[in-house]
């Protein structure tokens, strides 16, 4: 881990000489990883992959059995793009500012199983785009996912293929859009607590052999809510 930390520090120090924004590029492989990154101030900061080139961005690649990620980006128009490959991982992601982009995928091809994940995402600001794909083809065993969003005009998308996933989302602000697609074998739990007007919720839950659980608490005027629940044999579209 000493080598990996040194690489991150060098990139942070060297970047200002050729760009106005801070850029961190990561490609990490190992059984156990602990990664702590803070990008504070400015705008247009990037956390992405090691094979990125000027003007383009690829996903960071972190591969291991057990890992802990603690990521903070503070500022506007920042970007985080990541691919996580782990059987057990804990992630803390905090984004403060406007028009930021967060796009993360976990074990999309069932390479590691993604069997024990605890993810916490906190967003403070407006017009942010947040996308999380978890075990899309893996059918992972467990996930505890918590979102806290404060601000308006945010777009949040979560696609999850996990047995018995628990997803709690707390949103405070106007004109927010939530798109949730939850699949699994043993059912899932989704609780959406929202305050604000002109909201749009599109929620689809599909479990093969068990019941899904959904609770929505919403305070505010105007908006659209579409909910579909099925046994994964019938497809509905909002």
Confidence of residue 209 (pLDDT cuts 50, 70, 90): low
Mean pLDDT computed over 139-168: 86
The answer, yes or no, to whether residue 121 has pLDDT greater than 50, is yes
- Percentage of the chain lying above the pLDDT 70 cut: 76
The answer, yes or no, to whether residue 105 has pLDDT greater than 70, is yes
The answer, yes or no, to whether residue 56 has pLDDT greater than 80, is no
Chain segment 11-43, per-residue pLDDT in tens: 333 333 334 478 888 888 888 888 899 998 778
The answer, yes or no, to whether residue 173 has pLDDT greater than 70, is yes
148, HSE (Cβ side, Cα atoms, 13 Å): 9
Indicate the pTM of the whole model: 0.83
pLDDT of residue 127: 96
Average pLDDT of every residue of the chain? 80
Mean pLDDT computed over 45-60: 74
């Amino acid at each position: 881990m000493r080598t990996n930390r040194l690489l991150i520090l060098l990139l942070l120090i060297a970047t200002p000489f050729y760009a106005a924004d801070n850029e961190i590029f990561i490609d990490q492989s190992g059984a156990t990883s602990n990664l702590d990154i803070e990008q504070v101030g400015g705008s247009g900061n990037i956390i992405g992959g090691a094979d990125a080139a000027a003007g383009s961005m690829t996903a960071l690649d972190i591969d291991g059995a057990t890992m802990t990620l603690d990521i903070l980006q503070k500022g506007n128009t920042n970007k985080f793009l990541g691919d996580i490959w782990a059987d057990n991982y804990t992630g803390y992601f905090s984004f403060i500012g406007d028009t930021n982009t967060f796009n993360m995928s976990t074990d999309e091809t069932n390479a590691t199983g993604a069997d024990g994940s605890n993810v916490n995402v906190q967003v403070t600001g407006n017009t942010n785009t947040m996308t999380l794909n978890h075990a899309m083809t893996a059918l992972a065993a467990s996930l505890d996912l918590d979102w806290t969003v404060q601000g308006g005009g945010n777009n949040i998308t979560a696609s999850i293929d996990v047995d018995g996933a628990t997803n709690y989302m707390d949103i405070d602000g106007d004109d927010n859009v939530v798109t949730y697609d939850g699949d699994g074998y043993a059912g899932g739990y989704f609780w959406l607590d929202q305050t604000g007007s002109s909201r749009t919720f599109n929620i689809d839950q599909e479990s093969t052999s068990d019941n899904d659980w959904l609770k929505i608490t919403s305070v505010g005027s105007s908006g659209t809510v579409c909910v579909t629940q099925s046994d994964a044999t019938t497809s509905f579209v909002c």
